Structure 1
Amino acid sequence: MSTDYWLIQKIKKGNTEACDELVSKYYKDILNYFTYRCVNKETAKDLTQDTFLKFFEHIYEYQFQNKTKNYLYTIAGNLLKNSFAGKNTVSLDEYIENGGEICEQADKYNALIDRTDFASVLNKLPDDLKKCISMYYMQGYKQKEISIMLGISLPLVKYRIKRAKKILEKLMEGEDYDA
């Protein structure tokens, strides 16, 4: 059996150290997931914590299938959808006005602008394409891993990444794309 199986069994028996170990194991991955989707770092951290809280709230219902990380990403995706339902992307000006971190070094500031511009362009992609290209380029997953996590075929993952790249190229050049 995997380490996750034993951790979950300990957590179900009330072992708080096992909770800490599970969080430590997956915290960075879940935080990265939100960091690439939220302009505000605090929002990303809050949603990461909420993901683990939801997981632990429903730990007794969780049926271990050796896919703990996938389950956490599912929770994270649902929290993200719920938290941003009906909201538009945040502009850099709004981010600064709302107390977001302002980078003191010019290169960090430019990186934030580039990332914000790219994030707004990325948000124009259909969700299925956005999810695949984000997991591949921003989170560093292999196409096979994405296929397994999303429950879709490998050729479909490859198609979505290729299609997303073509659309992003057009959008970054200021062109429209046909959906």
Structure 2
Amino acid sequence: MDTVRLRRLNRWQAEGLREDLADLYVESSAASPGEEFRDRQKFLLRLAGDVQLPGFDMLVAEAQSLTGCAFGVPVPRDGSWWEGFHGPLPQNLEQLTASGHVFAILDTVVHPHQHAHGLARRLQERLLGDHEASLGVTLVDRSDHSTCAALRTWGWQEVGQIHRLPGPTTLQVLVLPLGERTSEHPDGLAHNDRTQRPE
């Protein structure tokens, strides 16, 4: 197997690779032939919006060609990212958000042949590590059972649902605690000086 290299892209580099990223997205999806064009256009539209978000960061995986990518943004400290969350936001998520140590993974795309090699997980962990995040967060369509199941096997935990506009879309919220797990904090979400809400 070819050696897979991970490379960071800024927003301009990501925009320059948009067509290749969209091709990768179509190859990685299980869309029926009639849906491919529409799914590709939706991905390009989402990507165009995402690269404009403050702190946008992307990692791509390359062998002889582009084999995967993961991208995301730091979650703003003001809590605006959590608007539409069903019910009260758990206190530990509120504290970590206020501390500036939460990073949202907006999308992870990996060529189907690479899944067996753990590339999606490697991309996510590297992206979160590069941002020294205490918590990773991602949103998944509730009907996408295979993605939810894969994320849970990597340690992601479901913490609720969130409603995102436009439309009636309700998404599953999953978090990946990156702190040290202790008997006092088995979830890895220790409340220490680094994660306290500023006064």
Name the one with the larger strand percent: 2
Larger radius of gyration: 1
TM-score normalized by structure 2? 0.28
- TM value normalised by structure 1: 0.30
More helix per residue: 1
